[in-house]
Chain A
Amino acid sequence: KNEVEQSPQNLTAQEGEFITINCSYSVGISALHWLQQHPGGGIVSLFMLSSGKKKHGRLIATINIQEKHSSLHITASHPRDSAVYICVLNTDKLIFGTGTRLQVFP
């Protein structure tokens, strides 16, 4: 069983929709990261969180340590949000999820 699993693997949405991407894990962590990888390949760190919730613009990340689950929400989605979103676990090493590919259509 993979230590980290993301769902869905692929997601399409219409502009303006509310998006949720999920990350479930099975190991103890000190923190969890969300990364965004643009179609051109560049990777940007969005959030690092160890409890509760963080918000940056239209992006919200939550984590429930007891349930070993994190969600990334995008409000009022836009085509420029189209990217692969990667969940990363902080243990004694970094464990990368395989990503969720999001496409937002106008």
Chain B
Amino acid sequence: DAGITQSPRHKVTETGTPVTLRCHQTENHRYMYWYRQDPGHGLRLIHYSYGVKDTDKGEVSDGYSVSRSKTEDFLLTLESATSSQTSVYFCAIGGTPNEQFFGPGTRLTVL
């Protein structure tokens, strides 16, 4: 996991504010993913990217947008944060769809 970082690691924000989480990799992997992890649920895919400017929705994409303007960065944006988006967010990277290496996670609290 030395090749993947997330920022910030912790954030507390208020309902209605925009929030951007950053995932940065130094592995030059093609695939990048954003997941959220909540009690009682497995990791759930929000969005993923299969290349620069190539992104697609996951199973829980409502309320989230992403951008990937360069290989190393994948941004997750909550345009107007809601309390239901309080979660731990994990970024993952992979050279193929079958392999994923996870970042350290970002704990987001929306008050």
Contact = CB atoms under 8 A, between A and B. Distances in A.
A37 to B, nearest CB: 9
Given A42-B1, A42-B105, A43-B90, A96 B42 contact: yes
Interface in B71-111: 88, 90, 98-102, 104-105, 107
B43 A96 contact: yes
Contact of B104 (A30, A42, A86): A42
A86 B99 contact: no
Interface of A: 4, 30-31, 35, 41-45, 48, 86, 90, 93-99
B44 interface: yes
A95 B90 contact: no
Contacts of B43: 86, 96
Interface of B: 1, 40-45, 88, 90, 98-102, 104-105, 107
- Main SS at interface, chain A: strand
17 contacts: A30-B98, A35-B102, A41-B88, A41-B104, A41-B105, A42-B1, A42-B104, A43-B102, A48-B98, A86-B42, A86-B43, A90-B98, A93-B45, A94-B45, A97-B42, A98-B41, A99-B42
A13 to B, nearest CB: 23
Given A45-B101, A48-B99, A96-B43, 19 more contacts: A4-B42, A41-B88, A41-B105, A41-B107, A42-B104, A42-B105, A43-B90, A43-B102, A44-B1, A44-B102, A48-B98, A95-B42, A96-B42, A96-B44, A97-B42, A98-B40, A98-B41, A98-B42, A99-B42
B102 A42 contact: yes
Contacts of B90: 43
Nearest to A97: B42
Contacts of B45: 93-94
